[in-house]
Structure 1
Amino acid sequence: MTMTALLPNFVCGRWQSGTGAGTALLDPVLGTELVRVDATGLDLRSAFAFARRAGSAALQALTYAERAALLARVGQVLQTHRDAYDAIATANSGTVQSDSAVDIDGALFTLGQYARWGTALGSARALRDGEAVKLGKEPLFQSQHLQVPRPGLALFINAFNFPAWGLWEKAAPALLSGLAVVVKPATATAWLTQRMVQDVVDAGILPAGALSIVCGSSNGLLDALAPFDVLSFTGSADTAAVIRSHPSLARHAVRANIEADSLNSALLLPDATPGTPAFDLLVREVVREMTVKSGQKCTAIRRILVPAKVYGAAAEAIGAKLAKVSTGNPRNAGVRMGALVSRAQFEAVQQGLAQLAHATEVLHDGRTQALVDADPAVAACHQPVLLGARDADMAQAVHDVEVFGPVATLLPYRDLPHALALAQRGQGSLVASLYGDDAAALGSAALALAASHGRVHVVTPEVAQAHTGHGNVMPQSLHGGPGRAGGGAELGGLRALDFYHQRAAVQASPQVLAALGL
């Protein structure tokens, strides 16, 4: 039997292979082995020390504009390999081409945005935080707040659903801030992340130690963290709880950003009855969010809140569109929705559906349709399923269980306060979207949901062609959410740099403050 290639790790400024046999990465449609990954035997403490000593130090010797220029060059190099990334995404993630683009082009767009924003920061090496204030009656002694890059590194432990964007949406602001990056991609889809890192390393754009990758087991990563390091994790709430309790985080006060589970909602306002543009917009967005990347997005719509009187009409309209979705091998031009990333994820969706079964009814079951060009005994393809719960208050499981796949639940509400209360039953979510045509009601609802959501996406008929989508994470807006969603905050323009900087106050004379060069 021929062993597939073992993808090397890049640490301490050189490529290093693990000493174990490695874990196989599989094609989720064909079940064939693609490559293997392994991190056994890596000296992670030395790797992290090198990243801080060489990578962060070299980056922080540059200005923001100089680091922005590096980001622009990284984006250019990645663009030249765009076709290779598409092929890897098809093989390893099982995505159709349009879904691969959400990941790959989203990464390139985010890199370009931070390159432009960083250029505007110019030749500074620290950021002014507000204006100086006097500390006495006379302006002889003042306090100036500023932000300076932290002298550690940024460790990213990423999820399986966005191997491209998941790296670069974090790495762009981190590198712009002057912190070396160590990325540990989810094993199941690590190939694309590893290939992107390889292309950037081969191009010689970044200083030695500025970008490292560890593929395979995450054992020892948290142990290697030190004071002034930062950690960004995307994944399950259970794993997040383990990370938060790790001794290194407690002992060294390592700054951590967590993005975890999220039961996101789409809410149709009472004025949006069947036949109105707002009703149609909700139906369209629900179907898109259920099927893009086979529902494997942390921002996907999981709960659909509609007035009780339109429950049946909404179920019929959503089901009719889902019935047109073909599921199967993404290499087949007739397939609209590809696979889940693995058979393990397929089984997780099945288990989630079983958990919801006692509280819901099946309104549309795509599983009655045959897969296209795929063997159901081998492929991790799962057709869309629309559930419904006529008593949204009593269906507790719907507000507790996130099925990470092409599954959503329709929930009827009595009035708008009831709908808002149901949305808040998610205990903190990444995003909620509102659909209607009453600006005053939409504005009031948006404010009501803001405290429990990281983003509120409002769709009215006039923005039908302009809005960016319920589940699309744009670098200009905050990505994160309170409570169950993890309490994290990413992106949001230059707000993302806050995580990688240390805020301090310098108290001095106006002359000394002027010499800071802010």
Structure 2
Amino acid sequence: MNNYLRNYLSGTWQQNAAVAHTLTDPVTGETIAVTGGRAEGLDEGFEFARTRGSAALQALTYGQRAAMLSDVVKVLQANRDAYYEIALANSGTTQSDSAVDIEGAAFTLNYYAKTGAALGDVRVLLDGSASILSKDQLFQSQHVLTPVHGLALFINAFNFPAWGLWEKAAPALLSGVPVVVKPATVTAWLTHRMVADVVAAGVLPVGALSIVCGSSAGLLDALKPFDVLSFTGSADTAVQIRSHAAVARHSVRANIEADSLNSAILGEDAAPGTEAFDLYVKEVVREMTTKSGQRCTAIRRALVPTQYFDAVAEAISSRLDAVTVGNPRNADVRMGSLVSREQYNNVLGGINILAGEATLLRDGRSQALVDVAPDIAACTAPTLLGLRDADHAAVVHDHEVFGPVATLLGYRNPDHAVALAHRGLGSLVTSVFSADESWLSKTALALAGSHGRVHTVTPEVGKVQTGHGNVMPASIHGGPGRAGGGEELGGLRGLGFYHRRSALQGSVATLQHLAVDSHSFRN
């Protein structure tokens, strides 16, 4: 078929090979694109990126590379309508859910374009001030950050084909590091189209951006010691990546984002009828339904005071009853489909696993769907489960269902709530809702050790808070333990992954020459 997602390596679009993977519309089941299998010329393509791409990028200053990111944004904006059409057909998302991905990508690129512009036309980043190494203060040490002498390989998840690429590529390209992206095959069309548009526009140096669709076979084998690897996906695949010789033996730097049983805590002061209570219920529902619950940051465990359990269950269920689910082409539909029938089966199987331990408070599997064939479409309505006694639960603290599913859990007191949140064994984010600012601050610090981000919400910030699940480029994204132990974004902190820190030792006069063409990384 015409819509063959070709690989782009060594500055060339490769010829079509035998079809190995078929992409389908998750609502209609129709074939929309195809890819090949194992990519040819990986070693040569990776070396082309390391040499041609890297040299061209690092010949530019940080300010010039920031301007380059601005040009990428212009290309994406010019093709925005096509991206929404692809997201609808390939991911089954509504207009608003597609925007989370597409507009989120542009927002993040814009953020790094502006942040990079503030670095100015420099080529060196200083990490802190010089340290004195001799009694006469003539011999000193200055830590510097220089771009890695390799490439950045991104192995991405299926849920964010647009943002997943650009939230990683923005700090990488700003750092002067060429990018090779391997999107999840099932939703690769949007990533492929964006890469193709940027390549056609010529706004990046040749070799700065490459893409491999279809099979991931051979990708890790092609990595070399100075490369970096960023992976977003399942914990099982993360284990395979960590054990690969490139990482285990050759010390390729790896950033992993894996499973995450994120939680949201309702404060004891937030009784039914209070503004904090209403904000909490609204947020849980939003997280269950946005992108059909297919966000790494979505709320999986909703922790509430035991005395409010029934009220919260009723309030959430009532809101979910108003969510129409089905074909996103229908104007009445508020929540679209999962990305594939395979994912649909995984979610239904996961609900059965949780239901072996928790009570079904609202079973979305029985809800009528709008304008779809139930035996073809990957659609299922939100399901809410519940457990009043979360202490004796095991599965709900261990198994993530990656879809419109959450479990309501009762807690006895604030310390108990924190303990339950920690049972996720490391999460990307937790949120806390209360009008008690002192308690929020204390609780946030207690939660910080096992969460990459702690999102606190009072009624005062209810209308302006950015959302439990929304990843903002100024804040870090990642989490310890089960969540993978990785860290991305966080403003200039995001550049750290793509740089090597070295200590330059020498005389004061020698080190002063660095200041001519440098910027302090830590302001």
TM-score, scaled relative to structure 1: 0.99
Residue 365 of structure 1 corresponds to which residue in structure 2? 363
Give the number of aligned pairs: 516
Superposition deviation, residue 36 in structure 1: 0.2
Q: Secondary structure at the match of 2:300?
A: strand
**1:208 paired to 2:206:** yes
Check whether the contact 1:18–1:42 (CA below 8 A) recurs between aligned residues. no
For residues 493 and 175 of structure 2, the distance between their equivalents in structure 1, rounded to whole angstroms, comes to 11
Q: Secondary structure at the match of 1:346?
A: helix
Q: Secondary structure at the match of 2:116?
A: helix
Superposition deviation, residue 251 in structure 1: 2.4
Residue 325 of structure 1 corresponds to which residue in structure 2? 323
Match of 1:156 among 131, 134, 154: 154
Residue 491 of structure 1 corresponds to which residue in structure 2? 489
Residue 380 of structure 1 corresponds to which residue in structure 2? 378
For residues 287 and 174 of structure 1, the distance between their equivalents in structure 2, rounded to whole angstroms, comes to 34
Superposition deviation, residue 18 in structure 1: 4.6
For residues 229 and 15 of structure 2, the distance between their equivalents in structure 1, rounded to whole angstroms, comes to 24
For residues 3 and 205 of structure 2, the distance between their equivalents in structure 1, rounded to whole angstroms, comes to 28
Residue 68 of structure 1 corresponds to which residue in structure 2? 66
Deviations 1:387-407 (A, max 9, x none): 001210111100000000000
**1:403 paired to 2:388:** no
Segments of 5+ residues of structure 1 without an aligned counterpart are: none
Residue 499 of structure 2 corresponds to which residue in structure 1? 501
Which residue type is aligned with residue 408 of structure 1? A
Q: Secondary structure at the match of 1:7?
A: coil
Check whether the contact 2:231–2:255 (CA below 8 A) recurs between aligned residues. yes
Residue 521 of structure 2 corresponds to which residue in structure 1? none
Deviations 1:109-150 (A, max 9, x none): 000000001011112111010001110222110100110001
CA RMSD of aligned residues (A): 0.8
Match of 1:28 among 26, 29, 32: 26
For residues 366 and 223 of structure 1, the distance between their equivalents in structure 2, rounded to whole angstroms, comes to 43
Residue 303 of structure 1 corresponds to which residue in structure 2? 301
Match of 1:457 among 435, 455, 458: 455
Q: Secondary structure at the match of 2:129?
A: coil
For residues 473 and 40 of structure 1, the distance between their equivalents in structure 2, rounded to whole angstroms, comes to 33
* Pairing 1:338-349 to 2, within 5 Å after superposition: 338-349=336-347
Match of 1:177 among 162, 172, 175: 175
Match of 1:218 among 211, 216, 219: 216
Q: Secondary structure at the match of 1:139?
A: coil
TM-score, scaled relative to structure 2: 0.98
Moved more, 209-218 or 6-15: 6-15
**1:288 paired to 2:283:** no
For residues 24 and 41 of structure 1, the distance between their equivalents in structure 2, rounded to whole angstroms, comes to 16
For residues 220 and 283 of structure 2, the distance between their equivalents in structure 1, rounded to whole angstroms, comes to 39
The ranges of structure 1 where at least 4 consecutive aligned residues each deviate by more than 3 angstroms after the TM superposition are none
Deviations 1:36-79 (A, max 9, x none): 01243511000000000100111011100000010000000100
For residues 337 and 4 of structure 1, the distance between their equivalents in structure 2, rounded to whole angstroms, comes to 30
Moved more, 129-138 or 44-53: 129-138
For residues 15 and 5 of structure 2, the distance between their equivalents in structure 1, rounded to whole angstroms, comes to 7
For residues 146 and 287 of structure 2, the distance between their equivalents in structure 1, rounded to whole angstroms, comes to 39
For residues 385 and 235 of structure 2, the distance between their equivalents in structure 1, rounded to whole angstroms, comes to 24
Deviations 1:186-241 (A, max 9, x none): 00000000000000000011111000000000000000000110000000000000
* Pairing 1:83-482 to 2, within 5 Å after superposition: 83-482=81-480
For residues 318 and 441 of structure 1, the distance between their equivalents in structure 2, rounded to whole angstroms, comes to 24
Segments of 5+ residues of structure 2 without an aligned counterpart are: 519-523
Match of 1:43 among 12, 28, 41: 41
Which residue type is aligned with residue 139 of structure 2? F
Deviations 1:429-455 (A, max 9, x none): 000000001111100000000000000
Q: Secondary structure at the match of 2:487?
A: strand
For residues 39 and 301 of structure 2, the distance between their equivalents in structure 1, rounded to whole angstroms, comes to 44
For residues 271 and 41 of structure 1, the distance between their equivalents in structure 2, rounded to whole angstroms, comes to 57
For residues 369 and 500 of structure 1, the distance between their equivalents in structure 2, rounded to whole angstroms, comes to 47
